[in-house]
Amino acid sequence: MNAERKRMPIVPNGDLECVWMWAGIVTYKLCDCNYECEHCSFDRAMKECDSVPFHGEVGGYKLCRTLFYHSSHTWAGVEEGGHLRIGLDDFGQNILGPIQRISLPKLGARIMEGSIQVRGRGIDVPLCPPAEGYIVEVNKQLLTFPALMNSYPYDKGWVVLIRPVHLLKSLRQLFYGYQAEEWYRREVSRLGSAIAQVTHLPPSRVGPTMQDGGIPILQILDAIEPNEASKIIRQFFIRNCN
């Protein structure tokens, strides 16, 4: 990707690169909507193009290619006014299992590590925010129905809406499009290896579904000794939280 960027035309000072350019799907496109993608005719046309897949699965885990992903399994979606809607991705909710509880920050507070705590499998983990900013809205439904994060990770299970401090800088540090797919594949492989080390199962037997010949991740993590399961889970949430 770095080599590709060196070949791209230089973006004039003050102009913004389109998210499609950052995704590597188009070679060169400037943003004239201040990242308010819902008002962009180019964005709408790209999403309606059959040649560009936007929703799918990688290793059995759902991935939405119109979202940006943090390495600790939170996602960010650009919305009106350059705000970012944030949630837990499908990989993250799967390994955490049924979400038992979530703590949400107060409106107006600056989002930071530890602002959002999620409990699953008896383990409390912090959700690392994919961007710096201030809380504009919280999903209060999660306080009563935290399992929405399991059933609808990219929809009803969103967590907070923030006003980012440095939008472009934040987006550049996240995975998007094909980069996100490649990262997901690496994470799926890493999870299989981590479980194999504890259970002594071959990585090929550790699968997301019964249909692919593997054993479901949820079933394996439920059977592992709690302390070992906790070590496996935490490394996917905490190791990259800065």
3-state helix/strand/coil string of the chain:
CHHHHHHCCCCCCCCEECHHHHCCCCCCCEECCCCCHHHCHHHHHHHCCCCCCCEEEECCEEEECCCEECCCCEEEEECHHHCEEEEECHHHHHHHCCEEEEECCCCCCEECCCCCEEEECCEEEECCCCCCEEEEEECCHHHHCCCHHHHCCCCCCCCEEEEECCHHHHHHCCEECHHHHHHHHHHHHHHHHHHHHHHCCCHHHECCCCCCCCECHHHHHHHCCHHHHHHHHHHHHCCCCC
If asked whether residues 120 and 171 sit together in one domain, one would say yes
pLDDT tens digits along 139-183: 999 999 999 999 999 999 999 999 999 888 888 889 988 889 999
If asked whether residues 33 and 134 sit together in one domain, one would say no
More confident residue, 167 or 38: 167
If asked whether residues 79 and 68 sit together in one domain, one would say yes
If asked whether residues 152 and 220 sit together in one domain, one would say yes
Domain end residue (candidates: 33, 52, 71): 52
Q: What pTM was computed for the model?
A: 0.76
If asked whether residues 183 and 201 sit together in one domain, one would say yes
If asked whether residues 17 and 127 sit together in one domain, one would say no
If asked whether residues 88 and 23 sit together in one domain, one would say no
Kindly state the tokens that stand for 202: 């071959």
If asked whether residues 95 and 131 sit together in one domain, one would say yes
The domain total for the chain is 2
If asked whether residues 85 and 196 sit together in one domain, one would say yes
CATH number where 153 lies: 2.40.50.100
As a whole number of angstroms, the distance between CA 93 and CA 178 comes to: 21
Check pLDDT > 80 for residue 211: no
What letters, b where the CB count within 10 A reaches 16 and e where it falls short, cover 31-50? bebebbbeebeebeebeeee
As a whole number, mean pLDDT of residues 218-237 equals 85
Check pLDDT > 90 for residue 20: no
Domain end residue (candidates: 18, 36, 52): 52
- Share above pLDDT 90 across residues of the chain, in percent, rounded to a whole number: 38
If asked whether residues 180 and 68 sit together in one domain, one would say yes
Check pLDDT > 80 for residue 11: no
If asked whether residues 125 and 164 sit together in one domain, one would say yes
Residue 208: what pLDDT?
A: 61
Mean pLDDT (the chain, rounded): 81
Residue 94: what pLDDT?
A: 92
Q: Which domain holds residue 147?
A: 53-242
86-100, 157-171, 172-186, 205-219: segment of lowest average pLDDT:
205-219
If asked whether residues 95 and 67 sit together in one domain, one would say yes
